[in-house]
Amino acid sequence: MSTKRKVYSADFKAKLVLEVLEGEKTINEIASAYGIIPNNLKNWKKQFLENMSLAFDKSIVVKEYKDEIETLQRDKDNMAKKVGELTLERDFAVEKLVSLVSSKERKTLVDIKLNISLNKQCKLLQVSKSSLYYQPTKPFSSGGEIKLLDAINNIYSDFPTYGSRRIHAQLLRDGFSIGKKFVKKAIKYMGIEALYPKPKTTTANKEHYKYPYLLKEFRNYAGQVIIEKTNQVWSTDITYIKLAKGFVYLAAIIDWHSKKILSWKLSNSMDIFLVTSVLKEALAFYPKPEIFNTDQGSQYTSKVHTSILKKHDIKISMDGVGRATDNICIERFWRSVKYEEVYLNEYKNIKELQKAIAKYIDSYNKKRLHSTIGYKTPNEIYYQAINNLDSKGEKLLPLVS
């Protein structure tokens, strides 16, 4: 027996996307609470971020309506010359075609009750007549399969670290007679995966241009990169932090010379919005750098990210493939924040982690002494260079930011 595909309202999607953007829960927690697939949440968030500019730039929508009105007016002048059957076809086209997006939606508008043949309707809607009779088999639609999906969802909710093999073993213990391949297929259909420390957060996109590594010229005789000026080189990266239920991602930008963290952000998804928001924040509060160094991850090689750097006339530098040491400055900060804060504590949710990271970075910038900068703090080195101050000029720091 087939089940009707569940349709979510725009209000429901908006509500969940706002909850994701609040960043207080992981995507898996939110999805589990509302009984939906995590991939749906990721897609809704992406769609929301790509179209949110329309809320502030109504001119785009107005132009589209004006163009549509002009098109309809021209069509009306032509249709006025037609009679009889053409009048019915005009009414059908005007009423039905306005809201069309895909061929799948156009097929649903075919109506056998109209006094227009199926052949004519298919021609007007630009759909194949044979496709009207094709009934694809919906995967995991039978009662037994739905029961299996529910069982997998319950197991995953209790043990999010379970992979397909352990889920399969648990299903057998629970009385299901099922093969490993079918369990893998079901897990893929549900869009879930075992939570475990990922080996890397860098995923390259072969279609994106990779910029050369510009910091070679700053290496000393021992091969170490030595940056002698504040705001000469900024570096950025993304790392993950494991919570009880899911992962969150931490992105940060560091000034290579002073070791100061200029901006940072936590997110329950690793996407372009995460890296661009951190970059925009740093550029809004601090003088721009000469060089901006990243790895070759798809977020950093995307046109959205590189265009911001080009707009500010900043040179783009990227690590070599598999060369984590090329960005050693930010890598050392990841080690510090994890060994001095994250690994020593447990966090119930993203809100707790947010407060802890904020407190740590504030102390890191203001109080933590670094041997590589003469046992001074990052703020002392950074603001002394910007304001030409000695270490007693602490009160003047707000003037820069």
**Over the stretch 97-108, which tens digit does the pLDDT of each residue have?**
545 556 677 777
Task: Give the pLDDT confidence of 59-92 residue by residue, as tens digits.
Answer: 655 666 667 777 777 776 666 555 556 666 666 6
* pLDDT band at residue 387 under the 50/70/90 scheme: confident
Which class is 215-400 in CATH?
alpha beta
The band of 56, judged by pLDDT with boundaries at 50, 70 and 90, is low
290-318 mean pLDDT: 90
Confidence of residue 399 (pLDDT cuts 50, 70, 90): very low
Give the pLDDT confidence of 320-351 residue by residue, as tens digits: 765 657 778 888 898 888 888 887 888 888 99
Model pLDDT, residue 87: 66
Q: Which residues contact 51 (CB under 8 A, 6 or more apart)?
A: none
Name all contacts of 274-278 with Cβ < 8 Å and 24+ positions apart.
274/238, 274/249, 274/299, 275/236, 275/238, 275/251, 275/299, 275/300, 275/305, 276/304, 276/305, 276/308, 278/236, 278/251, 278/252, 278/253
> Which pTM does this prediction carry?
0.54
* DSSP conformational letter for 55: G
Q: Is the pLDDT of residue 285 over 90?
A: yes
Q: How far apart are CA 2 and CA 36, in angstroms?
A: 19
CA 88 to chain centre: 47
